[in-house]
Structure 1
Amino acid sequence: MHEDWRPRHAALLEALAASGELPEAWHSAFAAVPRHHFIPGDIWEQRTTCVPVTTDAAWWDLVYRDVPIVTQVDDGQSDGPGIATSSNSMPTMVARMLAALEVADGQCVLEIGTGSGWNAALLAARLGSQNVTTVEVDPVLAEKAAKAIKEAGYSPDVVWGDGAQGWESGAPYDRIIATCSVRRIPHAWVRQTTPGGLILAPLAGDFWSGALVRLAVAGDGVATGRFIGGARFMPMRSERPGPDLPVDSGTGRRGTTGELPVDATTGLGFALYAGAKLPGVVMADGAPEGRYQIWLHDRNGSAATVTRKEVWQYGPRQLWEEATAVHKAYVNEGSPDGGDFGLTVSPGGQRLWLRSPDAPLG
């Protein structure tokens, strides 16, 4: 693909700097590592489905827009349903996470989820290749990423393995960053982080799409920290959700939203709170045909579809009434925002808390 990419690259850098997401300490790394070097020829735009990009002009436009790019569907199989299985994250999210990692010269970093290799190359440009290890579960993606990173002039340690186990042979690390979402922070990451180090990862729950948590690791094998915003990432492959029981449409019951406005359920603070109080209940929202609505369902055949005017509920549970009751309790707690919540990870598991590690939620 022949294109003068420099004006596009410069415009992206300018937009990132203007947004406040790209700190000065990372500017030279982003300038030295253009995004397009890590984007394969076959890519998809994520809409309601994955839409293949079919022209050179569309490819360049997508690569230098501030959007995520699907770089693999169906784990690379040619006869699948077209479900995104790997992507290159949107540049503002990449910059935001790297800034939140708070690296310093000479520190060693482990990245969980190499993907296209762009993030690993940025880390190598900032810290030196010898200080970066990146692990990828998909051997084909790992090989492609290693090639792209090498062609860009960097040589971090690109390894093939299950990121849930970290990478013991390179430990300890000063920082661990995950570019896939996890339901639980593996304690292996805590063990492999030096005391005083940081772990940054998108945590996914049932009720929320993802929230970024930053944990400080203590010398006693415990890591604690707060959530620092939303972050939607593809799940770690070992944590992909299984099939749900079907919903019986014949049980449909029509009602009204009552006292709870439908859009009051979509903030990160409520999502974290409800995720603890309604385990196993999944929430999603969107605006098909221009009409905003949310969807709730559990794994056992109950569901609710909610618009601004009405509710349809299915199955044995009254999910909207349950969500309404939890929201009332949330308001009584002072409607905490996402930054009021935190997480503690120990050898015995992880614990979500509100305002203080001494106030666990559940």
Structure 2
Amino acid sequence: MTDWPQRQAALLDALAASRALPPEWRSTFEAVPRHQFIPREIWKQEATCVPVTAEAAWWDLAYSDEPIVTQLDDGRGDGPGVATSSGSKPSLVARMLGALGIAEGHRVLEIGTGTGWNAALLSARLGSENVTTVEVDERLAAQAEKAIREAGYGPRVVHGDGALGWAPGAPYERLIATCSVRRVPPAWIEQTAPGGVIVFPLALDFWSGALLRLDVTQGMAQGRAVGDAQFMPMRSHRPATDTPVDGSTGRRMPGTAVPDTVASLGFALYAGARLPGVAMTDGRHEGTYQIWLWDREGSAATVTDQEVWQYGPRSLWEEVIEAHAAYVSEGSPSADEFGLTVDGAGQRVWLRSPEARVHH
């Protein structure tokens, strides 16, 4: 494909126009073409993961602002076809790198090498000697390292558990994670220098999606949500297997108009702290908007404006409605009004001020 420079320029122009791509990163993105890090075997995430086989479709996806699935079922050939690794949307890559606030001489630890594009971008900006990237999947780590080397960069690529960081290279001035976590691993704070910054996606049970930027002081990290970010969970932070729901316990209630803010990122952060262990997703089923709730211990609920069904010992929809009423009484705060403190006492979500913890 000979027109990739034009495709790249068009994509970067769009990212700049949307303010996703900070001006100081433009030349770095120009120097590190995305397609060099996309393997030939990829999938497009739709209702299921659809293989991308035609060359034209491969190039279209490589220079679109879309994620690209690069692995199914942890690399096994006999799984159900669940995406387990991907190349992130370029706009999200740019926003996260911008949120890091890096400067010359900073040492950066990346958790989740994936395709290697992010590590190559960091290497181009900071110098390869200042970049360490950790990948839990040995095959992905080797594949990414090959792509990074062929692009002309040489960061340290480590095959290991990202929850442990990489102590031999510590301390780091910046840490960025491209996989979501339920709790900030202590090693991340221990290995980040005081005054440093951690940027990562937080995945509470009540649907994941918040990007956080934490400032690190001695033994503590604290900061706010700075946007949304949908990422696959770090393998050691994947949810536990759900307990089957007993369909004979079903209880029908009249339908209800679902408030728009139930599916907002602000309420996700609030409900994630108020209702730990309760998971939610939403979407359309047979043309009807629906919410699904479950607690992984045998309770569940399905909600539409026609009817509500609840199962198991808990009445999850009523718990969500109660939490939503409390959220509305707080002024229906947006995501950027929430923050997180992580220290020796644990991890706490707060609203507007670190002293105003959101309790369950």
- Specify the TM-score bucket, using the shorter chain as the normaliser: over 0.9
1:175-190 matched pairs, under 5 angstroms: 175-190=174-189
Superposition deviation, residue 47 in structure 1: 1.3
Equivalent residues of 2:211, 2:227 under 8 A apart: yes
Equivalent residues of 2:112, 2:133 under 8 A apart: yes
Equivalent residues of 1:123, 1:132 under 8 A apart: yes
Superposition deviation, residue 262 in structure 1: 4.3
1:336 matches 2:295? no
Unpaired runs of 5+ residues, structure 1, are: none
- For residues 319 and 129 of structure 1, the distance between their equivalents in structure 2, rounded to whole angstroms, comes to 49
Aligned pair count reads 359
Match of 2:111 in 1: 112
- For residues 198 and 150 of structure 1, the distance between their equivalents in structure 2, rounded to whole angstroms, comes to 27
1:199-238 matched pairs, under 5 angstroms: 199-218=198-217, 220-238=218-236
Unpaired runs of 5+ residues, structure 2, are: none
Q: Say which of 338, 354, 358 aligns to 2:355.
A: 358
- For residues 53 and 247 of structure 2, the distance between their equivalents in structure 1, rounded to whole angstroms, comes to 38
- For residues 2 and 250 of structure 2, the distance between their equivalents in structure 1, rounded to whole angstroms, comes to 54
SS of the residue corresponding to residue 225 of structure 1 reads strand
Superposition deviation, residue 161 in structure 1: 1.0
1:18-29 matched pairs, under 5 angstroms: 18-29=17-28
Superposition deviation, residue 189 in structure 1: 0.8
1:140 matches 2:139? yes
1:314-333 matched pairs, under 5 angstroms: 314-333=311-330
1:154 matches 2:153? yes
- For residues 61 and 286 of structure 2, the distance between their equivalents in structure 1, rounded to whole angstroms, comes to 24
Match of 2:45 in 1: 46
Query: 1:24-53 CA distances to partner (integer Å, 9 max, x unpaired)?
Result: 100011101111100001001111211111
Give TM-score, length-normalised by structure 1.
0.96
Superposition deviation, residue 261 in structure 1: 2.3
Equivalent residues of 2:209, 2:230 under 8 A apart: yes
Equivalent residues of 2:258, 2:304 under 8 A apart: no
Superposition deviation, residue 263 in structure 1: 2.8
The runs of 4+ residues in structure 1 deviating greater than 3 Å are none
* Percent identity over paired residues: 67
- For residues 35 and 177 of structure 1, the distance between their equivalents in structure 2, rounded to whole angstroms, comes to 19
SS of the residue corresponding to residue 22 of structure 1 reads coil
- For residues 350 and 103 of structure 2, the distance between their equivalents in structure 1, rounded to whole angstroms, comes to 29
Superposition deviation, residue 139 in structure 1: 0.9
Superposition deviation, residue 279 in structure 1: 1.1
Deviates more, 1:346-355 or 1:113-122: 346-355
- For residues 31 and 309 of structure 1, the distance between their equivalents in structure 2, rounded to whole angstroms, comes to 51
- For residues 307 and 62 of structure 1, the distance between their equivalents in structure 2, rounded to whole angstroms, comes to 34
- For residues 361 and 285 of structure 1, the distance between their equivalents in structure 2, rounded to whole angstroms, comes to 23
Equivalent residues of 1:262, 1:308 under 8 A apart: no
- For residues 273 and 171 of structure 2, the distance between their equivalents in structure 1, rounded to whole angstroms, comes to 32
Equivalent residues of 1:262, 1:306 under 8 A apart: no
CA RMSD of aligned residues (A): 1.3
Equivalent residues of 1:135, 1:161 under 8 A apart: yes
Deviates more, 1:304-313 or 1:148-157: 304-313
Please tell me the residue identity of whatever aligns with 1:352.
V
- For residues 92 and 241 of structure 1, the distance between their equivalents in structure 2, rounded to whole angstroms, comes to 27
1:274 matches 2:241? no
- For residues 40 and 274 of structure 1, the distance between their equivalents in structure 2, rounded to whole angstroms, comes to 38
Match of 1:131 in 2: 130
Please tell me the residue identity of whatever aligns with 2:187.
A
Please tell me the residue identity of whatever aligns with 2:224.
R
Superposition deviation, residue 3 in structure 1: 4.5
Equivalent residues of 2:174, 2:198 under 8 A apart: yes
- For residues 61 and 288 of structure 1, the distance between their equivalents in structure 2, rounded to whole angstroms, comes to 29
1:272-311 matched pairs, under 5 angstroms: 272-311=269-308
Equivalent residues of 1:216, 1:224 under 8 A apart: yes
1:15 matches 2:39? no
Please tell me the residue identity of whatever aligns with 1:301.
G
Equivalent residues of 1:187, 1:349 under 8 A apart: no
Q: Say which of 252, 255, 270 aligns to 1:254.
A: 252
Equivalent residues of 2:240, 2:296 under 8 A apart: no
